[in-house]
Amino acid sequence: MGRMAVVEVAELTKTFVVPEREAGLRASIKALVRRKHREVHAVEEISFEIGEGEVVGFLGPNGAGKTTTLKMLSGLLYPTSGEARVLGHVPSKRERDFLRRITLVMGNRNQLQWDLPALDSFELNRAIYRIRRSDFTPLRDELIGLLDVGDLVRKPVRNLSLGERMKVEIVGSLLHRPQVLFLDEPTIGLDVTMQKRIRSFVADYNRRYGATVLLTSHYMADVVALCRRVVVIHHGRILYDGDLARLGAEFAAYKTIAVDLLDGAVSLEAYGEVVEREGDRVVLRVPKEETARVTGRLLVEQKIADLTVHDPPIEDVIELVFAEPK
């Protein structure tokens, strides 16, 4: 890694105990006498480190343990076991110096005063984070400029659209210039333009301030645009931690071969699964270990104008990773 570790996680575990009962009156009466509980292992012994200034994508399907991990790292949840350190602090102690240096942005949560313009909430954040006015005003104006929300921050928050609210929410979350950003689905529910805007803002903030970012998102475009490294979590366990580019090589069981034929009428079913055919262009899906052999056969046996081999799209790879049995 080479960089100083800002986030250090070792064997971190979170188990929730939840009440459970069958539907119906009988089960309800039974539950009065004897309540049943079940342990839900939201996060199981995960370990990873994130270096200073890194932007890491934290991927996983719903219920995989992403948000639980972020909540433990930001001090909202006490871990059941294991250790976490962020900027040298134990998050669950919720020390003031720690909370002044991090932020957690949750895409579908509103932390601003609903009935007041965002500027009033920003002012409140200044007081909460004890920011000197001489530092606060230029930073606030800089963030407002970066996200282009100058005309929005004077409107009551309740009058803003979801995307507008998200932008001012992000400004509010960064007014104390946190060094670590935990972003939980920051672009959820936003249109493509707004998603792009927020992506470029996060990249910009990371460049300007050298901030460390751990990002969860269901939109692969967010991850591809921002993260070189991804951590994939599923059923509370880490399945992969490494370069996004290598994820395909690790998990994809197939590759695609795009062939431009000189004679488009030829059938290529014998070489692999035809997933696309358009004029003289055919796209085949073949098992990864057979790619070289099939490519060789195609070049020898068919009249080909062009041939390219691709790893499957990252969305497909992620789907494959998530399909891994528990």
Partner 1 sequence: MSTQTLPEAGRVRSVVDYYLTMMRTSIVNQFQYRVAQYFYMLGMVAEPVVYLVVWTTIANESGGEINGITTGEFAAYYIVWTLVRNMNIVFGAPYWEWRIREGRMSADLLRPLHPLHNDLAWFAGSKFVLIVLWLPIAAGLTIAFEPTVDPTPLEVVVFSIAIWGAYLLRTMIQSTLGMLCFWTTRGAAIFDLYITTELLLSGRLVPLPLMPDRVETVAAFLPFQWAFFFPIDALVGDRSTAWLLGGLGMQLLWIAISFVAFRIAWRAAIKRFSAVGG
Binding positions for partner 1, rule: CB under 8 A:
16, 52-53, 71, 74-78, 94, 96-97, 99-104, 106, 108-109, 111, 113, 115-116, 120, 123-124, 126-132, 135, 139, 176-177, 179, 207-211
Q: Minimum CB separation from partner 1 for residue 78, in Å?
A: 5
Q: Minimum CB separation from partner 1 for residue 11, in Å?
A: 19
Q: Minimum CB separation from partner 1 for residue 325, in Å?
A: 28
> Pick from 188, 319, 153: which is nearest to 248 by CA?
319
Q: Minimum CB separation from partner 1 for residue 29, in Å?
A: 18
> Pick from 231, 291, 299: which is nearest to 257 by CA?
291
Comparing CB distances to partner 1, the nearer of 103 and 216 is: 103
* Alpha-carbon separation of residue 121 from 136, 152, 157, 204 (angstroms): 13, 13, 10, 23
Comparing CB distances to partner 1, the nearer of 47 and 108 is: 108
How close are the terminal C-alpha atoms of the chain, in Å? 29
Return the bridge partners of 278, or none. Answer: 281
- Phi first, then psi, for residue 43 (nearest 5°) are -135, 130
**How far is it between the farthest Cα atoms of the chain?**
77
Q: Minimum CB separation from partner 1 for residue 135, in Å?
A: 5
Comparing CB distances to partner 1, the nearer of 50 and 259 is: 50
Q: Minimum CB separation from partner 1 for residue 166, in Å?
A: 15
Joined tokens for residue 321: 């990773």
* Alpha-carbon separation of residue 160 from 70, 117, 184 (angstroms): 27, 10, 21
Comparing CB distances to partner 1, the nearer of 111 and 200 is: 111
Q: Minimum CB separation from partner 1 for residue 177, in Å?
A: 5
| Dist CA 244 CA 167 (whole Å) | 27
| Dist CA 68 CA 219 (whole Å) | 19
Comparing CB distances to partner 1, the nearer of 209 and 322 is: 209
| Dist CA 102 CA 184 (whole Å) | 13
Comparing CB distances to partner 1, the nearer of 33 and 300 is: 33
Comparing CB distances to partner 1, the nearer of 17 and 305 is: 17
Residue carrying the six token digits 């692999």:
272
Please report how the helices 118-128 and 162-174 are oriented relative to each other, as an axis angle in degrees rounded to 10.
20
